[in-house]
């Protein structure tokens, strides 16, 4: 079904044929717009932003670019095309027909999964709402807003499922998605990372690299779901998500590139000298990386999880790229885990594979994260420096799972609590680091200009030059 932009709510689900659903969503729409005005990007609602809007749901469907004021963005409901031959790809019902409606026994669980995913989408917009004031260039400002409007659309994607398949409970959940707010003392967002403030652009790039990538893996797991409308929704969201990670990946690369230029100019690798020249030393970058990577790891949940086992058994949430695995039932397999033994060392524990699905997904995520690190290190190596960035161990600074609150160093070796307490300040952004990074944050809005702490991108958006007027400020 093609995308219909004539309706008040753009969609490719033939919304017009279901009047009740259409009315319910048209009722939610002004509440969404109020939320956007109140908690979306602050002070840029009248700017003309060079945004892309989807025109079809396949990977090539990003044909339309043009100036849009964000409140006029055509948020809509778009699902990947239905595959009539699609069968359940894993779990106890492997090979059976996928579901077009939700089996009653899975209603509560699926609702929870959809709400948890949906909650992250507006949360990140709220976390990033002040960043427009300090964008390092118009190019970056535009990318921030593109990410923001798409997270808004991801909220629409989940709200559509809640309204269309969960009746009154779903409508109530949709309201609550606009009532919880990132960092709110009384009504915080559901997941910890989405309550962390993002007050500087280094954190924004780390967030889009590491935390949006968690989103990618969650969406990939849900794209395997037996509940076909959920799977199709997530498939399309993944094509939008790719840009968010691109922003993070290239953002961090450009910071490193600029730092290497300064190191070359000054012929030094002294962090203080690099800071004096207005760039970000690689050690500070590593500490921000440690923070956001470890925080994002918790989003995958416990290493051993009976919930994860039942999601898999019931076909609700699978493994990313399930087709790459040989055994889609995973009933007999065993998974080995290294767990703390309670006296400062580790021991191996064996658990049923189905209980280990969170850790399996986390493992794929870590590999994916590492590809960027390898690319960044190549830049550093090419510039002739021996410093290397590294992902910390998945045991480091965890708050959820078997390694929660177990003191380890970034390599994952258990250490005494006192040693951890004494050293943690050097492993995470210190107050001094944060103050320094914040001191660099000034909005650069002159066309073609770039803040001094970041190199320009290799190319612009949609074949436009880097110095294109990506945002027209009013």
- Footprint of Fe ion (CB under 5 A): 121, 151, 154, 212, 215, 241, 244
DSSP characters over 203-221: HHHHIIIIIHHHHHHHHHH
Kindly give, in sequence order, each residue whose CB lies less than 8 Å from that of residue 98, ignoring residues fewer than 6 positions away. 86, 87, 88, 226, 227, 228, 231
**CB of 324: closest distance to Fe ion in angstroms?**
23
Query: Within 13 Å of residue 272, how many CA atoms lie on the same side as its CB?
Result: 0
| Other Cβ atoms closer than 10 A to 87 | 12
- Which CB, 49 or 234, lies closer to Fe ion? 234
- 238: which DSSP letter? H
DSSP character for 455?
P
Task: Encode burial over 447-472: b for 16+ CB neighbours within 10 A, e otherwise.
Answer: eeebbebbbbbeebbeeeebbbebbe
Provide, rounded to whole angstroms, the least separation between the CB of residue 398 and Fe ion. 23
* Beta carbons of 188 and 206 less than 8 angstroms apart: no
Select 116 or 377, whichever has its Cβ closest to Fe ion.
116
Measured from the CB of residue 124, what is the shortest distance to Fe ion in angstroms?
A: 7
Given the complex with Fe ion, which of 99 and 236 has the nearer CB atom? 236
Q: Where are the alpha helices (DSSP H) in 383-430?
A: 417-427
Q: Which is nearer to Fe ion, 222 or 255 (CB)?
A: 222
Q: Are 45 and 71 in contact (CB under 8 A)?
A: yes
Residue 132 CB, shortest distance to Fe ion, in Å, is: 17
Specify which residues 51 forms β-bridges with: 66
The nearer residue to Fe ion, 193 or 284, going by C-beta atoms, is: 193
**CB nearer to Fe ion: pick between 215 and 429:** 215
In the complex with Fe ion, the residue whose CB is nearer, 215 or 372, is: 215
Question: Angle, to 10 degrees, between the axis of helix 431-440 and the axis of helix 282-297?
Answer: 110
For the bound state, the minimum distance from the C-beta of residue 93 to Fe ion, rounded and expressed in Å, comes to 28
* CB closer to Fe ion out of 153 and 354: 153
291 CB burial (10 A radius; 0-12, 13-18, 19+): buried
Rounded distance, CA 345 to CA 28, Å? 53
Q: Is 398 helix (H, G, I), strand (E, B) or coil?
A: strand
DSSP, res 82: P
CB of 127 to Fe ion, least distance (A): 12
CA 154 vs CA 23, 61, 120, 255, 386: distances in Å: 20, 17, 9, 29, 41
Which residue number, 225 or 393, has a Cβ lying nearer to Fe ion? Answer: 225
Q: How far is the CB of 241 from Fe ion (least distance, A)?
A: 5
Give the shortest CB-7-to-Fe ion separation in angstroms.
Answer: 23
Task: Supply the DSSP symbol for 323.
Answer: G
* Alpha carbon 338 to its chain's center: 27
**From the CB of 410, what's the least distance to Fe ion, in Å?**
26
How far apart are CB 236 and Fe ion at their closest, in Å?
11
Give the residue with the Cβ less far from Fe ion, 118 or 392. Answer: 118
Alpha-carbon Rg for the chain in angstroms: 23
């Amino acid at each position: 079904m093609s995308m219909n932009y004539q309706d008040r709510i753009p969609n490719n689900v033939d919304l017009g044929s279901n009047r009740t659903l259409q009315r319910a969503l048209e009722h939610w729409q002004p509440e969404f717009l109020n939320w956007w005005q109140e908690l979306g990007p602050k002070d840029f609602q009248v700017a003309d932003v060079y945004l892309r809007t989807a025109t079809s749901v396949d990977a090539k469907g990003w044909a339309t670019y043009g100036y849009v004021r964000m409140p006029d963005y055509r948020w809509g409901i778009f699902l990947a095309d239905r595959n009539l031959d699609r069968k359940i790809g894993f779990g106890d019902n492997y090979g059976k027909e996928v579901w077009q409606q939700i089996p009653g026994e899975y209603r509560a669980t699926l609702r929870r999964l959809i709400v948890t995913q949906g909650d992250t989408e507006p949360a990140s917009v709220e976390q990033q709402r002040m960043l427009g004031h300090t964008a390092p260039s118009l190019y970056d400002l535009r990318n921030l807003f593109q990410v923001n409007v798409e997270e808004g659309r991801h909220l629409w994607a989940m709200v559509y499922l809640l309204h269309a398949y969960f009746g009154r409970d779903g409508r109530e959940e949709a309201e609550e998605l606009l009532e919880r707010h990132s960092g709110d003392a009384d009504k915080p967002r559901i997941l910890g990372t989405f309550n962390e403030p993002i007050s500087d652009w280094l954190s924004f790039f780390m967030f889009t690299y590491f935390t949006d990538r968690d989103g990618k893996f969650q969406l990939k797991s849900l794209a395997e779901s037996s509940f076909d409308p959920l799977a199709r929704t997530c498939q399309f969201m993944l094509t939008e998500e790719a840009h968010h990670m691109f922003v993070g990946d290239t953002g961090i690369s450009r910071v490193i590139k600029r730092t290497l230029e300064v190191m070359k100019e000054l012929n030094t690798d002294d962090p203080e000298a690099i800071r004096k020249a207005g760039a970000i030393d690689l050690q500070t970058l590593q500490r921000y990386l440690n923070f956001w990577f470890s925080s994002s790891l918790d989003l995958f949940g416990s290493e051993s999880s009976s919930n994860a086992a039942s999601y898999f058994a019931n076909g609700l949430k699978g493994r990313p790229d399930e087709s790459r695995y040989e055994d889609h039932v995973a009933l007999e397999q065993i998974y080995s885990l290294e767990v703390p033994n309670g006296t400062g060392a580790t021991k191996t524990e064996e658990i049923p594979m189905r209980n280990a699905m969170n850790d399996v997904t986390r493992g794929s995520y870590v590999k994916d994260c590492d590809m960027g690190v390898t690319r960044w290190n190549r830049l550093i190596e090419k510039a002739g420096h021996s410093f290397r960035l590294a992902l910390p161990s998945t045991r480091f600074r965890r708050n959820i799972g078997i390694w929660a609150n177990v003191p380890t160093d970034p390599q994952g070796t258990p250490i005494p609590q006192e040693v951890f307490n004494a050293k943690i300040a050097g492993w995470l952004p210190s107050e001094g680091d944060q103050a320094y990074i914040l001191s660099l944050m000034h909005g650069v809005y002159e066309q073609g200009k770039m803040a001094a702490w970041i190199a320009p991108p290799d190319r612009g958006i949609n074949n436009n030059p880097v110095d294109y007027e990506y945002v027209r400020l009013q």
